[in-house]
Amino acid sequence: MLPFRLFQNYSNQSYPLSLYSCGLHEQTSQNRPIGYPTLQCFINFEGEGVFHFAGQQKIILEVGQVLLVPGKLAHEYYPEQDQMWILGYMGISGYLAESLISASAIPMLTPISLNYDQLQQTSERIHQMWNSHYDEEQHVDRNISVQLYDWLIVLSQIVALKEKPSAVVHSTPSTHALQRAVHLLQQHYNENIRIANIAYAVGYSVQHFQRLFKETYGVNPLTYLQRLRLEQAILLLESKENIHLTIQEISNLVGMDTNYFIRLFKKEHGITPAQYRHQYRQYS
């Protein structure tokens, strides 16, 4: 069994794919009303688990199945009928994570079945990445990025071979529009973005766009944008290269008024940006 573990990028270099968290153990109930910070990849090794997502029917994850869950999507999951549930998982971040999955035609929120050999290989892969926490090799972050990319290739090949009709359900006009909207938010988060402009850019009225966005991601577009800005701010607060930046400069770089940025940061994380930076330096 591998307990939950967070991973830190010690190289301070951005990679297309990065490991945010990892684990494999008996899973209990989890409720994430604001979702998880990153994309999640769940792998079921024993028992059955039930997933609930905002605005969607429940998903039962059976033994040998993989489930990809977008970041920041409200959800909860728990073992079926109080049975033992052994779940492996990877939190995947990186500036190309979502686009690589989309380009590889790997469906989100759709169980993907593995055979016995594939499941065992996946277990070995998780153990290897989890243990890399102790690896002092200089290029460990790069090696993990390569392993994650290889894992996505394996998944895409499995999906392509099985050609599940359910995988096609997600390729709808509204899905493509929302993916474009998320891309626009990610590209222009540090600018003075109006949600109305994003809605019009993807061909929807503001009201319809906000409804579709919340049904898919569990939060409205503005909340998504705010969280995106806070995530980018955290990267700047943690970066040794940007240690000279003031809190005001960081708030400007992520497109937020300084006072509002401090209030929102404290509301989300319980401490101010300055306190976060101090604690991060103290314990890193």
pLDDT digits (tens, 9 = 90+) for 250-262: 999 999 999 999 9
pLDDT of residue 41: 97
pLDDT of residue 170: 45
Domain 173-283, CATH? 1.10.10.60
Out of 40-44, 96-100, 187-191, 244-248, which region has the weakest mean confidence (pLDDT)?
Answer: 96-100
The pTM is what?
0.58
pLDDT of residue 72: 84
- Asked if the model's pLDDT at residue 197 lies above 90, the reply is yes
Q: Which two tokens stand for residue 71?
A: 């970041």
User: Rounded to whole angstroms, what are the CA distances from 225 to 181, 218, 235?
Assistant: 11, 13, 16
Give the amino acid at 82. D
| Structure-model confidence comparison of residues 162 and 257, the more confident one | 257
CATH architecture assignment, domain 2-166: Sandwich (2.60)
- Asked if the model's pLDDT at residue 9 lies above 70, the reply is no
255-280: b (≥16 Cβ within 10 Å) or e: bbeeeebbebbeeeeeeebeebbeee
Q: Which two tokens stand for residue 81?
A: 């009928």
| Structure-model confidence comparison of residues 282 and 124, the more confident one | 124
163-182: pLDDT as tens digits: 544 434 444 667 778 888 88
Residues paired with residue 2 on neighbouring β-strands, in sequence order? 24
The CB-side HSE value for 265 (13 A sphere, CA atoms) comes to 26
Average per-residue pLDDT for the chain: 86
pLDDT of residue 90: 96
93-102: pLDDT as tens digits: 987 787 788 7
47-93: pLDDT as tens digits: 999 999 876 778 999 999 999 999 888 889 999 987 899 999 999 99
All residues at 6 or more sequence positions from 158 whose CB lies less than 8 Å from its CB, including other chains: 112, 113, 114, 118
pLDDT of residue 96: 79
Where along the chain do its domains lie? 2-166, 173-283
